[in-house]
Amino acid sequence: MLFFTQCFGAVLDLIHLRFQHYKAKRVFSAAGQLVCVVNPTHSLKYAPTLYPAAQTSTEQSILPPCHHHEAVHDPQLVPCMCPLFSCPWEGHLEVVVSHLRQTHHINILQGAEIVFLATDMHVPAPTDWIIMHSCLGHQFLLVLRKQEKYEGHPQFFAMMMLIGTPTQADNFTYRLELNRNQRRLKWEATPRSVLECVDSVISDGDCLVLNTSLAQLFSDNGSLAIGIAITTSKVHNSEAEM
């Protein structure tokens, strides 16, 4: 009897994931785009058909300051690489990917353009939604963080980070796009390196920032679909040094 109950639960889960996948595909109609459903859960569950990689950090409500790794002086050690609040891990750049895969069960998506569907946007801050993305011969990390910089005023911060050095990161441009109800919001920027800290990217304002109203405007039933594209950098003619 327990076996049948579990089977039924699994089937329901698959139907639910399929439904979310279908919804995200409707938002971004470009054929062949991979839709990735990302849940903010504690469990490290993993559904191969949809590549979910779900992480959360609600067990730690106080932000660890970026400088809690100040004792690290080896410049090759990655101090704040793991964007999850709860993970104190630090290590060399070369083993960041394996750490994220093995410890956090975060999968790697392939393809230059994907859709990141973050579910359960209503969960309290701080929470992270993260995924790895393999593209143009490099690995990138997409981090969506819900955080209260000001008490009672949660904001969402979305950014792409290269698992590489800042110099390597300068060779790329990424675009995040929200699109719903005849509203469209696009953020284009050079990715930051994971050698930098998620917190410092947020405090620099160097990411896509959404307040709660904007997030609700673009969400559907608590899920936010973010279209992601990565290209190699070109010189932007229209932005002269000022």
Please report, as ranges, the residues that interact with a copy of itself according to CB under 8 A: 23, 26-30, 149-150, 152-153, 155, 173, 179-190, 203-206, 208-217, 220-221, 233, 236-240, 242
Q: Where are the alpha helices (DSSP H) in the chain?
A: 2-27, 96-104, 166-169, 198-204, 212-218
Smaller CB distance to a copy of itself: residue 48 or 205?
A: 205
Q: Tokens 């104190």 label which residue? A: 88
- Count other C-beta atoms under 10 Å from residue 128's C-beta: 25
**Kindly report the CA angle at 219 between 218 and 221, in degrees rounded to 5?**
150
Smaller CB distance to a copy of itself: residue 127 or 155?
A: 155
Tokens for 213? 């109203």
Smaller CB distance to a copy of itself: residue 94 or 204?
A: 204
CB of 67 to a copy of itself, least distance (A): 19
CB of 202 to a copy of itself, least distance (A): 8
Sign for the CA dihedral angle at 232, 236, 237, 242 comes to negative
CB of 118 to a copy of itself, least distance (A): 15
Q: Tokens 């410092």 label which residue? A: 200
SS3 223: strand
Tokens for 154? 């949660």
Smaller CB distance to a copy of itself: residue 44 or 136?
A: 136
Smaller CB distance to a copy of itself: residue 42 or 183?
A: 183
Secondary element (H or E) of residue 185? strand 183-189
CB of 30 to a copy of itself, least distance (A): 7
CB of 181 to a copy of itself, least distance (A): 7
